[in-house]
Amino acid sequence: MKIVIDLQGAQSTGSRNRGIGRYSIAISKALIQVARERGHEVFVACNNAFPLAIEPLKAAFLPLVSKEQFVVWDGPVKAGYQNETTKWISRAGERLRDHYLQRLDPDFILTTSLCEGFGDPVVVSGAPRAGRALSAVILYDLIPVIYKDIYLPHVETRQFFYRRLGQMQQADLLLAISAASRSDAIARLGVDPERVVNISGAVDDIFRRIDISSEDAARLLSRYGLKSDFIMYTGGIDFRKNTDGLIEGFSQLPQAFRQAHPLAIVCKADKDARKRLEDLAARHGIGQGEIVITGFVPDQDLVEFYNLCALFIFPSLYEGFGLPVLEAMSCGAPTASGDNSSLVEINQLKGASFDASSPSAIARTIKDCIDTPGRLEELRAYSLARAQDFSWLNCARVSLDGMERILADRGRAAPVAGRRRKRLAFISPLPPLASGIADHSAALVNALAKDFDIDLVVAQDEISDEWLIANHRVMSYKALSDPWRHYDHLVFHFGNSRFHQHMLPMLEEFGGVVVMHDFFMSGMMCDGEYVGQLPQFWTKRLLHAHGYAALAAKTRDPHDATWLYPSNLEMLDWADGVITHSAAPKELFATYYGDGMPPWEVIPLFRRTTRATTREEARARLGLNDQTFLVCSFGVMGESKRADGLLEGWLASTLAGDADCRLLFVGTADGPYAQAVVQRIKSESGARNVTVTGYVSPEEYETYLAASDLAVQLRALSRGETSISVLDCFTYAIPTIVNAHGTMAELDPATVLRIPDTFTSGELAGALETLHRDPGERRRLGEAGRAYILAHHGAANVRHRYREALERFATSPRARHRRLAMAIRDQAEEQPPSVEALASMAETLSHGLPPRVGAPLIFVDVTALLADAQGRGMDGLRSLLRAMLLDAREGWRVRPVYFDTAILDYRHAHGFACGLLGIPGEAPFDEVASLRRGDHLLVLASPSHPLEAAPEFLARAANRGIAIALFWHDPESVMKLADPDGAEAVGVGFSPHAASLLIVASERQALVAEQWSKKAEVGRASPPRIRIRHPDEDAQTLFDDVLCRQAS
């Protein structure tokens, strides 16, 4: 294995002289030693943007690596994140770094410090954009996220840090310096536990027990104004170091004790910091000389301070590792530290830790350690023994173990010569828009960023999620031009709200993958037409998907029509592929559209699997004791959530009369339905333990989840959507009762207690009582639900499923046709053709589109009706057509068209059809009706049909896979058929060579057709079938006996 160590962590101005710089150098040296023992090769890479920092590193590393293995690359000297110019340079510099380091052909690139480069030219990234190298990043801590208000008060620093954390998520391996940092990466970044290991830390060899003469000790103490038996603190002066809490705790000690054991704050302190601490000490009544602030001390003095102190006290509120604690213990200092974060991993002696947030606990610990006989000797002995458990070689061995495992896993999963991060345009509403899809998309982007470079394409002026802004380019949908030149995938997240209206024209123009969160899109389209003033925004798509009966229903009652018709077929036809979160939408597709489903993948809805709070914390926050049995129903109180049914079931159960049982409806309760349920709760004497919370914040929502004993999530009127609330219940291991409705019926029966879709109050009451009295079953269901969501809905599985689906969709018929069009376009740019040639090629490309999705489309040529509305038999033909349009056979769609001689192609006859059916309002425009493979054409033949002017039109259509039927509807007319021997019959005039079916209205016509067919057999692979349609046959018979047989 070849490893490149990016040593910028030891170069940057902010880290080279601090703990991170020391850690970077020490772990790198140990890695080189252990790697050599295992037969691995290590390169050290430095950034020439820090030229003065390179010589000291050469001196440190050239004894360990050859000159060829010490690599210097030229990074941009003006990189940084202070303004847009330096930010752009930094992001371009990331590509430069990848290019230089990839030239070494490494298996792993190890970044010693990722969160650098805000104010200096450090250039780093979490994962290479190309090449075969895997990435490892040392993770020190996530303290700026834990104390965001303190450490990230400004938007610029937040965005910088969030970008770095986003890059950290993309790394193949995180090397956490403590178990606490590892847990934070899993819980706060959603990192796969398999991709983050605890490598721990160690200290430099200078930190050890040494002999100090009394004279040297006196000189040191005199130089800093200290006396013997002092208490020592070192580690910096900021919020989490808790120096204020230390001073307050020290002030609570008796004055005589403070005078005998002064507190030495050994760290750098500028003039303002020193004055603030001195003023704070004075306010707490601490006398002169009882606290000494030394300022910066050199390493040798620091080691002597550790060796001489009576007690080392470390009151930090949070540490990634707690290096000063291990330094002190390595020097044999009696040590007491906070009982939090990584500190408990180093100092594990009982009684040697304390609540760092409590000044009184700090005071009590100091006094007990010093005043208890033998206690200091016990602490000193423990410090020296415990310090032996930490070494840089151990850190290096664990690091290399992790790299070797990840490399082996990558080799087993997919041996590749290289990798290129695919570029993805993510088109979706995002926070703060009031849409559940916006919140879901924000979380999903972060999960997918491990595998893709993602740009966010939006129609909103503001994005409130600073992490997204920091880690991804945001662009207006209006600026998305020619996207397939720049992106490998376009992913559209569609829901049934106005926030998605702008995406439909984009999908039509560009194509891409549709992620469908709702099967019905009629609400979004209705709003666009009636509220958004988008002409026929819904009308055209409703007609395309559901025909004229749906259009008539819309004119009668638009609201009812939104519930009856999904209206999404056209967008599914434009899609390269479709992603849904359950199989229910596929069943709805079959119900509404029959066969002809587009490429489709069911991918579990992504959910963060980490929990924000514990049950104990949540119950304390809500004022609940352990005896309270809390049942919750989560979500907006609406008819689709069956709140009335839950209330009935509760009132019918024994829980309603149990003072220790409570039912909470957690969510907004607006509208007539919700208010009726609320009123019922107020009026029912048995509902005294039922509460409606109203709107809750995301933090409050998670508090209720964590506090719950049981959840009841019921559904009705489902239209293919997935219940996020049920998945969140699984995350918190809450046993959950559901009814078998919609996607709830797909849940693993081992994970829920499922009652019938149309349940009775007694059935629900029985389920409540069963789980109330059986804690073992509750525990089993909760654990099963938790295991289910970890296995199916976590980031690793969802990301893997998306990657596979997008790759498959990239080879779909739609995508292949688009690539063909792009290749021809590129040729046109290299060799510009004439306008005529370009138009001809565009027409040819349109004929090559793949078959439509959904039920087969039957185009009925009504040119004869338009040309001769009063002719023989036209009334009967109109009646037949009316029946075909309003009552099409299931599994077929019927659309009238007419032949336009100006363009030699068919147009939709929407205006004619609306007039024929009496549908009021403006009819859709008669657009060109491009016939595609898989379509059917029924021509109502008549004298002087315009197809005479285009004799090759039908032949070409038939050759493209369009099934053609010619219908002579007038029994008195005689067909004119082109005789193979040159003779012609008298009558209607165009050749039926292209037809696979001839429908005639009389025996005479059948005879002429049969004679012609026999003469023409030599020139055809198979003759057309001939059928006589009797005048009393209805439209359904025509479908059943003719068109369906033709399709078969």
DSSP 521-541: -HHHHHHHHHTS--TTTTHHH
Tell me yes or no: is domain 214-385 CATH 3.40.1390.10: no
Look at residue 419 and tell me whether its pLDDT is greater than 70.
Answer: no
SS3 940: strand
Query: Domain-by-domain residue ranges, the chain?
Result: 2-198, 214-385, 422-519+568-602, 615-793, 857-1047
Give the residue, 519 or 718, on which the prediction is more confident.
519
Tell me how long the chain is: 1048
Q: How far apart are the first and last CA of the chain?
A: 60
Look at residue 764 and tell me whether its pLDDT is greater than 80.
Answer: yes
> What percent of the residues of the chain are helix, what percent strand, and what percent coil, each to the nearest 5?
45, 15, 35
Give the residue, 152 or 1005, on which the prediction is more confident.
152
- Give the chain's radius of gyration (CA, Å): 38
Q: What is the residue-averaged pLDDT of the chain?
A: 90
Q: How far, in Å, CA of 159 to CA of 910, rounded? A: 53
990 pLDDT band (50/70/90 cuts)?
low
| Tokens of residue 248, six digits | 């307050």
CA–CA–CA angle 838, 842, 844 (5° rounding): 115
Contact 665, 696 (CB under 8 A): no
Nearest to 640 by CA among 715, 585, 566, 692: 715
Look at residue 871 and tell me whether its pLDDT is greater than 60.
Answer: no
CA distances from 1042 to 143, 851, 885, 963, 1000 (A): 73, 21, 16, 12, 12
CA–CA–CA angle 817, 808, 848 (5° rounding): 15
- Same CATH fold, 214-385 and 2-198? yes
Q: Tell me which H or E stretch contains 798.
A: helix 795-809
416 pLDDT band (50/70/90 cuts)?
very low
Mean pLDDT of 381-393: 97
Dihedral, CA atoms, 354, 356, 361, 367, nearest 10 degrees? Answer: 70
Mention every residue, 6+ apart, whose C-beta is less than 8 A from residue 1021: none
SS3 1027: strand
Look at residue 986 and tell me whether its pLDDT is greater than 50.
Answer: no
CA–CA–CA angle 171, 174, 176 (5° rounding): 155
When the candidates are 3.90.1150.10, 3.40.50.2000, 3.30.420.40, 3.40.50.2020, the CATH number that belongs to 615-793 is 3.40.50.2000
Look at residue 333 and tell me whether its pLDDT is greater than 90.
Answer: yes
Look at residue 923 and tell me whether its pLDDT is greater than 90.
Answer: no
pLDDT at residue 825 in the model = 81
Q: How far, in Å, CA of 163 to CA of 467, rounded? A: 7
Mean pLDDT of 369-398: 97
Residue range 2-198 forms a domain whose CATH class is: alpha beta
Contact 438, 407 (CB under 8 A): no
Q: How far, in Å, CA of 440 to CA of 283, rounded? A: 50
SS3 231: strand
Sheet hosting strand 600-602, strand order edge to edge: 473-476, 452-458, 422-427, 489-494, 513-516, 577-580, 600-602
pTM above 0.85, yes or no: no
pLDDT tens-digit profile of 746-763?
899 999 999 999 999 999
Q: How far, in Å, CA of 766 to CA of 784, rounded? A: 21
CATH level 2 (architecture), domain 422-519+568-602: 3-Layer(aba) Sandwich (3.40)
Q: How far, in Å, CA of 616 to CA of 628, rounded? A: 13
Q: How many CB atoms neighbour CB 804 within 10 A?
A: 12
Nearest to 230 by CA among 182, 169, 294: 294
Query: Which stretch of 263-267, 449-453, 491-495, 911-915 has the lowest confidence by average pLDDT?
Result: 449-453
Mean pLDDT of 16-26: 90
Look at residue 873 and tell me whether its pLDDT is greater than 60.
Answer: no
